[in-house]
Structure 1
């Protein structure tokens, strides 16, 4: 009884700030301006299928790059002394203390024509466009969300029982075999958490593409941001479709995690 009373504030919070907004979005998506039931908003929402697919592709590619960077980095950090680990993690997290938009502005200044990167590469004879394109959007995504991939993997790796590694070494396993047979399988829960924490916000973000992307790099978050104030029914329909896709993704990732845990 006591535990139920303690959880009551959280339940109230969830109902007010999570369930009620979701219900309102659902009602708006399935009605028209007169308040009657209608699927017209969904018909209009599917006109943005190409933007939706491109957003998912950019989010997927950004997630993969975050994993490629974060996994070996997390492994290297776990091999350091504990005091050094804390220092490195703090240094990696310091940029997160700044406002999200300010960090994006920093990349705009860095990648713009005549900016530091363009000036440096031009000095050695390399010329090109480094902003207002899909590559710049992906770079911004990786920069913004890489810590969300790193921390879960690092946390899981740090909790791996050293006795298991020593046992594998005593049985004749070299470093590569220890990593493949012990470290990697036990770090899969962290990988799954990291993928979830990066892919979900990447798929729905809109600020990064607005400031670093070109005219062809509009993401589904940008569409929702722009259309919601002109036609909230279509905006709600697009949001609902995106939420359903993300929910399916989360369920699949949880199922995969459960299978790995059983294995």
Structure 2
């Protein structure tokens, strides 16, 4: 009797917990799990690694393994890496080169991708599916293999280089004639290959945005006397700004920290910030300095995006409150 009385309350509590868990799961369990999953993902794979990188950036470089330490014979927080970051011309030039190349690539992707995305919304559905497949077709091939293909095309003895050189020599005086155009190991090559690689990331968000636009607005503007180009400037372009921003961010952010493309076709004397981080981690084994550069790059990219999101939300809120 004593054993039964002792196990009875435990069994009752277990049954109560199970029934409570079952009620929670049946009522709102799936929705809570679904909402919590992306936050948990960001916590584990973004916030925690970012905090680790921040901690390494204020550590002191040592010849140990791992090559950094806190406290002891070294200061607990060492800001020398950030002081060097803003005083050494190597890092300043790398940041400027990365931003410039990424900005050029983003602008060219927009110039090329916007007409393509707009054209996708104007064709029939059967052709639209085929064209969308062609847009994402390069992803079926290895990214590294595509970069190597461009290296072959831009070589001094390639047919592509000879064709461009012949066209240049035909348009220029004889004294300005060239044997070949130097394309490899230049910022031009970096921008060209970046545009080719990231163009689908501009086309797809623009297409998703343009497809949702109400075509009756264009028809109404034309009925009121606007010409097609004026309709595009007054109606289509303003409504497609969210797609432009989304595509621009999807291209600019990874292009700024790109490592493979500048390492293979870029100029070694003008490294981009991704190459600098890789060299600091692998070659110099200066993990605190590499972490400080990574933190600065992240802040440089994330802060403007957060400011844009904040002011855009304020503008929408103000517009919603207007009578």
**Normalising by structure 1, what TM-score?**
0.93
What is the aligned counterpart of 1:43 among 83, 96, 113? 83
1:86/1:4 CA distance change after superposition, 3 Å = same
Summarize deviations over 1:78-106 as a string: whole Å, max 9, x none.
Answer: 22112112211211210022222111111
Q: Does 1:252 align with 2:307?
A: yes
List alignment gaps of at least 5 residues for structure 1. none
Please state how far the C-alpha of 1:123 moved relative to its aligned partner: 5.5
Q: Does 1:12 align with 2:40?
A: yes
| 2:69 paired residue number | 34
What is the aligned counterpart of 2:200 among 125, 147, 151? 147
Summarize deviations over 1:27-59 as a string: whole Å, max 9, x none.
Answer: 001121331210011123232111111111111
Alignment of 1:92-103 (within 5 A): 92-103=135-146
1:146/1:34 CA distance change after superposition, 3 Å = same
Please state how far the C-alpha of 1:201 moved relative to its aligned partner: 0.5
| 2:115 paired residue number | 72
| 1:233 paired residue number | 288
What is the aligned counterpart of 2:259 among 206, 230, 236? 206
Give distance in 2, aligned partners of 1:157 and 1:30: 46
Give distance in 2, aligned partners of 1:6 and 1:128: 55
| 1:176 paired residue number | 229
Select the structure of larger CA radius of gyration. 2
The answer to whether the 8 Å contact 1:45/1:237 transfers is yes
Structure with more contact order per residue of length (Cα contacts < 8 Å, sep ≥ 6): 1
Please state how far the C-alpha of 1:169 moved relative to its aligned partner: 1.9
List alignment gaps of at least 5 residues for structure 2. 1-27, 61-67, 71-75, 170-177
Give distance in 2, aligned partners of 1:201 and 1:139: 15
Q: Secondary structure at the match of 2:181?
A: coil
What is the aligned counterpart of 1:189 among 220, 223, 242? 242
Give distance in 2, aligned partners of 1:51 and 1:37: 26
What is the aligned counterpart of 1:132 among 168, 185, 189? 185
Please state how far the C-alpha of 1:155 moved relative to its aligned partner: 1.2
Please state how far the C-alpha of 1:259 moved relative to its aligned partner: 6.7
**Normalising by structure 2, what TM-score?**
0.76
The answer to whether the 8 Å contact 1:77/1:85 transfers is yes
